[in-house]
Amino acid sequence: MAKGLTLVIANKRYSSWSLRPWLAMTHFDVPFEEVVIPLDQDSTSPAILEHSAAGKVPVLHHGDITVWESLAILEYLADAFYDRPWWPTDPHAKARARTIAAEMHAGFGAMRPAMPMNLDKTYEPSAWAADVSKDIARIQGLWRDTRAKYGGDGDFLFGTFTIADAMYAPVVTRFKTYCVEMDDVSSAYADAVLGLPAMQKWTADAAEEPWVIDKYGPPE
C-alpha cells in the first residue's frame, strides 16, 4: 500500500466539492496533509494544474497514486482503508447509498448555480425558480425516504455517517445559507450533519481564511 496522503482542496468557505472527501477523511480519522489553493486568483489555475490535468479540486495524492473527483476519491479511500465503515454493510442499503451519492455527484444542476456554497453568509428566504424548487424537493424526498428505510435509530441517512452523508453535506450548508424551508426529517438530518465535529472544524477553519471572492461580498 502506498504511504502518505495529501488532499488538495480550495477555500473551505466556498468549495463544496472539497468538503466531501475532507469531511469523510476527518470523520473516519484517516491522517492526511492538507493543501489549500485559493479560488479566483491569478495563481489558482496553474497551481491546480500542478496536481491534476483536469484543472479542478479536490485531488488526492496517495504516494504515487493520484485520484481526482470527489466521489472517485471517496470510493478509492473506501478500498484503501477498508477497516472504516465508509458504506453501509447491508447490500440493499449499500446499493442505495451508492446510488444517491452518484445522483448528488451528477445531478441537481439547477440548484448548484442558484445556491453557491458560502459559509459566511445567510440570505433571506427566496422564491426559487421552478427547476430549483424541483431539486430542493427531490433532495428532501431522498433524505426522508432513505431515513425511513435505512436510518434506524441513528441520525444520518443510514444511521451512522457514510460517504452518502459526505456527498450531501454541502447541500446542508446551502440550505442553511439560503434559509431553505425543510420538513422535520430533513431539518433534523441537517442538524446532525452540522453537529459533526469534523463539520464544525471545517466551518471554524473557513471563518479564519483570509481569502474572499469579491462577487460574494465580504463575510458577515
pLDDT at 19 over 70: yes
- 111 and 44 in a single domain? The answer is no
Question: Could you tell me if 118 and 57 lie in one domain?
Answer: no
Would you call the peptide bond into 58 cis, given omega within 30 degrees of 0 as the criterion?
Answer: yes
Residue 95 phi, psi (nearest 5) = -60, -40
Please tell me the predicted confidence (pLDDT) of residue 213: 83
- Tell me if 197 is assigned to some domain: yes
Q: Which pLDDT band holds residue 1 (cuts at 50, 70, 90)?
A: very low
Among residues 56, 84, 112, the one where a domain terminates is 84
CATH number of residue 60's parent domain? 3.40.30.10
DSSP 84-138: S--S-SSHHHHHHHHHHHHHHHH--TTHHHHS---TT---------HHHHHHHHH
- pTM (2 d.p.): 0.95
Verify that 79 and 131 share a domain, yes or no. no
- Residue 50, C-alpha cell as written in the block: 500542478
- Residues 15-22: what's their mean pLDDT? 98
Q: How many domains does the chain have?
A: 2
Class of residue 202 by CB neighbours under 10 A (exposed 0-12, middle 13-18, buried 19+): buried
Residue 126: the pLDDT is 86
Decide if pLDDT at 6 tops 70.
yes
CB 59, CB 19: distance < 8 Å:
no
pLDDT at 150 over 80: yes
